[in-house]
């Protein structure tokens, strides 16, 4: 839900909503749009980030102090420009800010604030209303986990999926879909080993990337061609945000094709290779760990790590992970020794 709350409460490409009521209305509208795309048939799980684990707390704290500091510095810069211009006799006119002269502080989107308590109540009322009046919600079981429940939203959802898998009557062909923009959702989805797992995310298209196959012009897509909506600035957000499904079954298939011909002196176990792949991705950084200084994802660190892993696997005598979240540190040590040999070249 946080991936919906943030863009609705402080949008980048349209005016700031003037009240909490307007923000909540935009959140409900966006939520309905996502549900309309996915069309869930059994369970709908709405999860808002609760208190984060200690490992992420430091990162969050520094990020929020940075946000507050940026706002303060901007205000100080504006005040200094005003006084300088006034001294030179130049009249300075402020553009009126939205929301009755107040700017929205995005730091209130965090557990324990009055804003989140109000949002939780509003969402509960919205869910009850939809269950009674919306045909799409009629046969759904709805689980709502607000900011008072500890843990990040995606981890709460993953814990729920794991608990469902432990049930005796669980259908292994169940399809799961998570909405969110974080790349770590790909890793979390792979770690479940579920065969049918999808991630719905926004693919924001730049105007220059849009090319219409109907009229051949740039700036809009074929389904928008000839409509008034193309020129309507109010609809720019709806136009620019296109949704895409990431199919983790395809990611798994490509990983399998990468490793299937590898000659190993022990049993080939693809599920363990998937676990190892998720573990290797930690080295380029995630929400809880800073990346190794020599490994930057933008400079092909993932390809380099996979290449090293693939070459090392036959002589490792097993996999880096033991299953159940445990590591075989002697094997990790061998891989890190290989990395140490080329680390200096990475820095150069």
State residue 217's pLDDT score. Answer: 75
- Domain borders along the chain are 1-151, 261-347
φ, ψ of residue 347 to 5 degrees: the values are -65, -40
State residue 306's pLDDT score. Answer: 92
State residue 292's pLDDT score. Answer: 82
pTM: 0.77
Q: Mean pLDDT in the chain?
A: 84
**pLDDT tens-digit map of 107-163:** 888 899 999 999 999 999 999 999 999 999 989 999 999 999 999 999 999 999 999
Model confidence at 11, in pLDDT bands (50, 70, 90)?
A: confident
């Amino acid at each position: 839900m946080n991936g919906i709350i943030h863009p609705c409460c402080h949008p980048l490409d349209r005016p700031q909503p003037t009240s909490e009521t307007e923000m909540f209305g935009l959140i409900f509208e966006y939520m309905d749009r996502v549900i309309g795309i996915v069309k869930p048939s059994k369970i709908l799980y709405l999860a808002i980030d609760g208190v984060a684990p200690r490992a992420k707390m430091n990162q969050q704290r520094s990020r929020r102090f940075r946000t507050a500091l940026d706002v303060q510095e901007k205000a100080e810069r504006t005040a200094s420009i005003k006084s300088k211009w006034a001294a030179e006799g130049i009249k300075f006119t402020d553009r009126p800010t939205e929301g009755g002269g107040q700017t929205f502080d995005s730091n209130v989107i965090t557990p324990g604030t009055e804003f989140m308590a109000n949002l939780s109540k509003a969402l509960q009322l919205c869910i009850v209303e939809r269950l009674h009046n919306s045909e799409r919600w009629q046969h759904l079981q709805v689980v709502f986990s607000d900011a008072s429940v500890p843990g990040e939203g995606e981890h709460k959802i993953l814990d729920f999926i794991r608990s469902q898998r432990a049930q005796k009557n669980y259908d292994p062909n169940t399809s799961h879909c998570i909405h969110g923009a974080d790349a770590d959702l790909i890793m979390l989805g792979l770690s479940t080993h579920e065969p049918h797992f999808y991630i719905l995310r926004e693919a924001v298209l730049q105007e220059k990337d849009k090319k219409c196959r109907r009229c051949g012009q740039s700036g809009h897509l074929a389904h928008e061609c000839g409509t008034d909506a193309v020129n309507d600035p109010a609809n720019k957000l709806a136009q620019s945000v296109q949704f895409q499904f990431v199919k983790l079954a395809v990611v798994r298939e490509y990983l399998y094709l990468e490793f299937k011909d590898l000659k190993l002196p022990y049993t080939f176990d693809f599920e363990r290779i998937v676990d190892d792949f998720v573990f290797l991705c930690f080295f380029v950084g995630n929400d809880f760990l800073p990346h190794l200084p020599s490994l930057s994802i933008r400079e092909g660190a993932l390809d380099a790590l996979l290449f090293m892993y693939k070459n090392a696997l036959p002589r490792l005598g097993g996999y880096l992970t033991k299953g159940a979240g445990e590591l075989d540190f002697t094997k990790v040590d061998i891989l890190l020794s290989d990395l140490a040999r080329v680390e200096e070249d990475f820095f150069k």
